[in-house]
Copies of this chain bind each other. A is one copy, B any other.
Amino acid sequence: MPQTDSRIQLPEPTLRRLPWYLSYVSMLRSSGVEYVSSTLIARELDVDASQIAKDLSFLNIKGKTRIGYDVASLEQVLEDFLGFKKGHNAVIAGVGSLGSALMADSGLQRYGLNIVAGFDVNKQIIGQKIANVPVFDMSQLADVRREYAAEIGILTVPVEVAQEVCDMMVGAGFKALWNFTPIRIRTAGDIVVSNTSIYAHLALMYNRLTHHGQ
């Protein structure tokens, strides 16, 4: 199997496309397909074939002429490279509807994310378990982070306290923040911030719908 160097920092657009390729080749593998050409991937995913070849070249895997890529190794290389095989411990701040929803989403685990603890200010749920994940008081953030060696903090708190909790997480030693709140959070330079603005995507969709057929 080809070696890949997961320490290569890829262009973000490439990183956004790789999971599409992974999903597709996983489907092919489970249906018993052995080889796939970038042309076929291109047709199925509506991405330019040369772009696909360029993206995959970062992973240092080459397709065979007239045969294409070996599906099984392409799947493995993509999974390894994307970090979905390696477990990443994360905690979640804000065990409200979205927070407990994510704690219950087994899909995240399949993609290498282990939510090991939840944090909230609501005395009713502190000490309880949600989807088998214990909920702690916010004051225990640093201790619990150390205990589980969790690097990722997920933000699903009310927007009013998002920045404050973000600062607490940075103070507690988290290296990456996954922000689900609709607000832009500010961090010191060295923290990885990933925004999943579910509600912003809604606004986009509403706006496009308004123009639908115009």
Determine if A196 and B198 form an interchain contact, defined as CB atoms under 8 angstroms apart.
yes
Q: Nearest Cβ distance between residue A154 and chain B, in whole angstroms?
A: 10
| Selected interface stretch from A68-76, A97-105, A116-124, A137-145 | A97-105
- Copies of this chain, complex-wide, total 2
- A interface size (C-beta, 8 A): 72
- CB-CB < 8 A to A178: which residues of B? 201-202, 205
Given A19-B199, A107-B98, A160-B30, A24 and B208 contact (CB-CB distance below 8 Å):
no
21 contacts between A and B (CB under 8 A): A6-B210, A15-B204, A16-B200, A18-B203, A23-B159, A24-B183, A27-B159, A27-B183, A46-B184, A83-B206, A83-B207, A84-B199, A88-B209, A97-B107, A98-B107, A107-B199, A108-B202, A113-B202, A152-B209, A176-B212, A196-B198
7 nearest A-B pairs in the assembled complex, by CB-CB distance: A101-B101, A83-B206, A192-B208, A82-B203, A19-B200, A23-B183, A194-B205
